Structure 1
């Protein structure tokens, strides 16, 4: 590895496997790591970081990890509000150690915000005035969205009117700083894109195949401990505003455990939420990353996973 073209060029090798949920990213990452010198896998999924969500986040099991080192999987307690900036800092430290030890790191996940923050940096938004933050967070979602349409129409246009978390964030930024979030994002800093030799692949299998996989996986999650996982979370009496409590599947199971939904209704709603999330991811990964990133549009299977891992490995050696 020390003599690879990436090192010769002064840029450090980094493989990246991204795509929507249930597209087969984890299996490909393990296979890529197994054929790479001292391969190791780093998580880039916002839900799989939480120790409390092994089943509902589809975090790889020890058997699925196949003795390949995995980092940032299940390392954060659900009581913490982990975010993209903190994740990027943690990954930078992991990458520095990996390269020093001549390991071959591969990032894998479907959280586009995490990947964008790591590669291209984060907007240097100053701390939000506490009074403004409290005022904004007490607002009704409709009122906040209406206010955002006047103060930051660009952000309002790209957000769904019910996306409360992002609406409030955009509104508190423009109220507190006098500048819109898109304006701050034009000054991103701290990204590593210029220092790495990136080997990226995006999995974009047929939508029908993906939807079927999402539905089947939710059925398996409900049948193999996902409900009990949420019950344990409820016992902790964590704030409902924490990311772990908003993860797909958690609100639906909570409603079931409280008697507000039947088990079948909770499953159906969780499946629908997963399909919607996968659709948003699919759209983001099709259009947002650079056009020279590899797009693989066939279903991942035992018949092509080896070839795809080799293709990604060779791509990194020739860039």
Structure 2
């Protein structure tokens, strides 16, 4: 079966993935498919760094602001939507350019993962989150390790969403998340992908970019955006409000801390997230890395194009 050629741009937050993805789409005649788990949601343009009309430079972008923040979008739902986008882009003779930093979404999509339908248990989710609030994420992670150590060892105590989901799947469907993931890998990928990774040898440079971007987001109205989401009862305790930026500002909106503390917490959480992203992507052996900071944007683009052309990813096979 013929595989669809795909370009992917990955890396930590604030590394310049959107800009490079647009440039590559312009160069190869492509369209961008977002692989950011929070850019999916409406009303979160500033905090999730959704590209503006000007930043898109006329390149069509997909899966940005398409979901109601009151309704969580699972990785399975994301993969189904992204697969449909890629198929359509390819059918129109364009090159799909996947861009994003949500490692689980990127890997699940490009590896062609299949997902078995599992039940949703909202009551259990609420109870587990309450337990996490009272006992901490480590307590839930320890519980998960008791029946699914393979999944638990991959998760951080702060990653409550995935911890809770793994426990929910096991207690509701009687199957571990690691077993579901094993089954999902049995189908070959429908894509032939060249992955371009944006890395930072100088970690301090990335952290400075993150701090500057948070300041720019606040100037652009992030607090008001968070306030509007927080005002919605159907969103306040949901997945979208747990996104970095909104979660920290929610503490201020509840009166739990001053704004200065919330902003500092936001910057710290973003830096930690970037570190986890780099750890995730660095494990992959099939990424062509470009060190940001080693040259101007034009040089980064040239390096990316050379890597893509050398990979022969865009040479269509039958």
TM-score > 0.5, shorter chain as reference: yes
Bigger mean CA deviation after superposition, 114-123 or 277-286? 114-123
Count of equivalent residues: 305
State the distance in 1 between where 2:148 and 2:86 align: 37
Show the counterpart of 1:298: 292
**1:112 Cα offset (Å):** 0.9
State the distance in 2 between where 1:218 and 1:111 align: 19
Aligned match for 1:35, one of 27, 33, 54: 27
Counting only pairs closer than 5 Å after superposition, residues 143-292 of structure 1 correspond to structure 2 as 144-188=140-184, 193=189, 195-206=190-201, 207-287=203-283, 289=284, 291-292=285-286
The two structures, once aligned, show a CA RMSD in angstroms of 2.4
Establish whether residue 113 from structure 1 lines up as the match of residue 104 from structure 2.
yes
Bigger mean CA deviation after superposition, 95-104 or 270-279? 95-104
State the distance in 1 between where 2:92 and 2:162 align: 39
State the distance in 2 between where 1:222 and 1:191 align: 44
Quick one: structure 1 residues 124 and 211, their matched pair in 2 at CA, closer, same or farther if it must change by over 3 Å? same
Contact 1:202 1:296 in 2 (8 A): yes
State the distance in 2 between where 1:284 and 1:254 align: 28
Aligned match for 1:58, one of 41, 44, 49: 49
State the distance in 2 between where 1:218 and 1:238 align: 26
Show the counterpart of 1:5: none
Quick one: structure 1 residues 294 and 309, their matched pair in 2 at CA, closer, same or farther if it must change by over 3 Å? closer
**1:135 Cα offset (Å):** 4.7
Establish whether residue 84 from structure 1 lines up as the match of residue 84 from structure 2.
no
Unaligned runs of 5+ in 1: 1-8
Establish whether residue 69 from structure 1 lines up as the match of residue 65 from structure 2.
no
Show the counterpart of 2:38: 47
Establish whether residue 26 from structure 1 lines up as the match of residue 15 from structure 2.
no
Quick one: structure 1 residues 276 and 119, their matched pair in 2 at CA, closer, same or farther if it must change by over 3 Å? same
Unaligned runs of 5+ in 2: none
State the distance in 2 between where 1:190 and 1:208 align: 40
Contact 1:197 1:316 in 2 (8 A): no
- TM-score w.r.t. the length of structure 1 is 0.86
**1:125 Cα offset (Å):** 4.6
- TM-score w.r.t. the length of structure 2 is 0.87
